[in-house]
Structure 1
Amino acid sequence: MSSRIEALMKALEKDPNNPLGLYGLALEFYKEGRYEDAIVYLKKYLSVYDDQGAAYRTLAQAYINIGDIEQAIETYERGIEQARKYNHPTMVEEFRQEIERLKSLL
């Protein structure tokens, strides 16, 4: 386990719902290819923080990496809702294109 992961986990022991810690830990797991762990922490992050859309991209990619295309599509759809809410039209279009690409794989 990397020292960054250890440090983030230790910080989360003190404040388990710290959005920055949850997101940071999820990203570290993702970078290490530990997609199931990344999914756990991204979902927890999204349960405590109103993300503007970027976390949904990472979560969807983690689902793709474990082969769960349907869950990736659902995640991108939720990301579109958030991106619209925060007026990120480029992200909306990016997610829409990804959904179309993924649907062609089903």
Structure 2
Amino acid sequence: MDRLEQLLQFYQEDPTDAFTRFALAQEYWKRGDTAQALRFFEELVRDHPDYVGTYYHLAKLYRTLGRLEEARRTYQQGIEVARRVGDAKSLAELQDALMALELGEE
């Protein structure tokens, strides 16, 4: 059983588990299935808005797809959430990523 199959089995057992959904999004992205990656990241932000790490990765995927306004908005939302939950490390990473986007850097 490969990693994706394992994750899908975990997902079937508990489709609400944030970590499994995040791992599925990452695995789909790694395999080049950006549609499925987007689906899981977007659902995760909707269903688990305090799962701070999602914002960075979703915004990065939007940026990779050339959807820069959505990337900007997602970074900004992540910054707000990171502040609210007191996650200083994620806050700094999201701020740096937003600045890089604004400056047109990779």
- With the length of structure 2 as denominator, give the TM-score of the two structures: 0.80
Distance 2:89 2:23 in 1: 24
> Structure 1 residues 24 and 77, CA, compared in 2 at 3 Å: closer, same or farther?
same
Tell me the equivalent position of 2:46.
47
Distance 1:36 1:68 in 2: 13
Distance 1:52 1:21 in 2: 12
Check conservation: 1:57, 1:76, Cα contact below 8 A: yes
Q: How does 1:85-100 map to 2 (within 5 A)?
A: 85-100=84-99
The more displaced of 90-99 and 34-43 is 90-99
Tell me the equivalent position of 1:57.
56
Structure 2 gaps, min length 5: none
Structure 1 gaps, min length 5: none
Check conservation: 1:73, 1:102, Cα contact below 8 A: yes
Distance 1:51 1:25 in 2: 18
1:21 counterpart = 2:20: yes
- With the length of structure 1 as denominator, give the TM-score of the two structures: 0.80
Tell me the equivalent position of 1:71.
70
Identity of aligned residues (%): 27
Distance 1:91 1:20 in 2: 16
Q: What is the root-mean-square deviation in Å for CA atoms of aligned residues?
A: 2.0
Alignment size in residue pairs? 104
Deviations 1:26-51 (A, max 9, x none): 11112223222211101112222243
